[in-house]
Amino acid sequence: MMEVKQVLHMNGGVGDTSYANNSVVQKTILTKGMPILEDAILDLYCTTFPKKLSIADLGCSSGPNTLFVISHIIDTIKMKCRELNHPLPEFQMFLNDLPGNDFNTVFSYLPGFYERLNEEKQVGLGQCFVAGVAGSFYGRLFPSESLHFIHSSNSLHWLSQVPQGLQNEMGISLNKGKIHIEKTSPPNVFRAYLAQFQRDFYLFLKSRSEEVIGGGRMVLTFSGRRSSDASSTECYFQWELITQTLNDMVSQGVMEQDKVDSFNIPYYAPSIQELEAIVEIEGSFSVDRIEIMEIDISTSGAKGIRAVTESMLVDQFGAAIMDDLFRTYEQKYVEYLSNNKSNHISLVLSMTRKG
């Protein structure tokens, strides 16, 4: 069973196919969700005016979005402090991602980041300390009751592993010829994906419930669906196009059918109802807001898909075919979007730790 923590990492560095250069869609999502993030952090700050704030960004990746989030949090509090004539608190900022993340590139941005903060010290800026935390957010990452605020964007749709139960007792794939949920996938496939998401999201909440103080806040943004129907495939066109590209390669004899049949993308986009049910069962957080955001995706999104999925595809299919695969994929992507209106759906979930 493919474990995501061993194979998933966004393309590192700052080259043509890097996440740093191909994360505009994620930046748009982040920016659209900012008002909800601002409300939550200000609410938290103005309730107790803590002298120190410990904040974690989970699934921070490596690129302009990484420091954009923590900068924006600091700026939001800074404006409030200016308005109230308060000294700024100290900030402990944790940037978390899987161990394969390009933390070196992230750290290389830090001197510039600190410099900008120092230039703006007029309001009695407290210190800001940034630390990297390598590990899976489907498990404990921080000591008990050590965090005030958690943010995560564009990350929690990644499952911890490829769902179990995608093969029958004979080891034959139930999702033959496909790499994700599609309209023609059998019901067992939908069920297996949902069950894996339920296990993972429960574990995520349980782990965070230990780490966040009572009254602490959490704002999570990730892919979702409008439809409550678990067999809805409204937001999976990008995977269908990879499937088509791989199947073309099988027909051309440059790819083995078996390789396609045995590969499944560990990604799930839940509905609001599915999320609410897990939050309720886990029981440690109350939901303050939950909203659907719709984002226009441009044809440049194809490069973004490469930056995000290449590490997993290389693991299964080898690096040699990646340029060919993504050349065809990009053509299909552009063609698809010129014939179909396909907006990306994200859900934003703002919660408070009970107690």
Ligand X SMILES: C[S@@+](CC[C@H](N)C(=O)[O-])C[C@H]1O[C@@H](n2cnc3c(N)ncnc32)[C@H](O)[C@@H]1O
Q: How far is the CB of 172 from ligand X (least distance, A)?
A: 29
Q: Among residues 90 and 282, whose Cβ is nearest to ligand X? A: 282
Question: 91 is written with which tokens?
Answer: 């900030």
Q: How far is the CB of 268 from ligand X (least distance, A)?
A: 12
Distance CA 224, CA 222 (A): 6
Q: How far is the CB of 206 from ligand X (least distance, A)?
A: 14
Q: How far is the CB of 100 from ligand X (least distance, A)?
A: 7
Question: 252 is written with which tokens?
Answer: 């051309």
Q: How far is the CB of 349 from ligand X (least distance, A)?
A: 15
Q: Among residues 78 and 157, whose Cβ is nearest to ligand X? A: 157
Q: Among residues 32 and 86, whose Cβ is nearest to ligand X? A: 32
Q: Among residues 20 and 260, whose Cβ is nearest to ligand X? A: 20
Task: Compute CA distances 260 → 207, 243, 248, 293, 315, whole Å.
Answer: 34, 8, 11, 32, 12
Sign of the four-CA dihedral 19, 20, 23, 29:
positive
Distance CA 287, CA 119 (A): 38
All residues at 6 or more sequence positions from 31 whose CB lies less than 8 Å from its CB, including other chains: none
Burial class (CB in 10 A: 0-12, 13-18, 19+), 85: exposed
Q: How far is the CB of 147 from ligand X (least distance, A)?
A: 15
Binding residues (CB under 6 A) for ligand X: these are 4-5, 8-10, 23, 26, 30, 59-61, 65, 96-98, 101, 136-138, 153-155, 158, 160, 308
Q: Which of 90, 128, 123, 134 is nearest to 111 (CA)?
A: 128
8 A C-beta contact, residue 207 and residue 138: yes
Q: How many helices (H) and strands (E) does the chain have?
A: 10, 7
Phi-psi region of 59 (alpha: psi -120 to 50; beta: other; left: phi over 0): left
Q: Which of 112, 105, 18 is nearest to 71 (CA)?
A: 112
Q: Among residues 160 and 233, whose Cβ is nearest to ligand X? A: 160
Question: 80 is written with which tokens?
Answer: 């409030």
Q: How far is the CB of 294 from ligand X (least distance, A)?
A: 17
Q: Among residues 10 and 230, whose Cβ is nearest to ligand X? A: 10
Helix, strand and coil in the chain, % to nearest 5: 45, 20, 35
Q: How far is the CB of 308 from ligand X (least distance, A)?
A: 5
Q: Among residues 9 and 178, whose Cβ is nearest to ligand X? A: 9
Q: Among residues 44 and 95, whose Cβ is nearest to ligand X? A: 95
Phi-psi region of 123 (alpha: psi -120 to 50; beta: other; left: phi over 0): alpha
Using CB positions, name the residue nearest to ligand X. Answer: 59
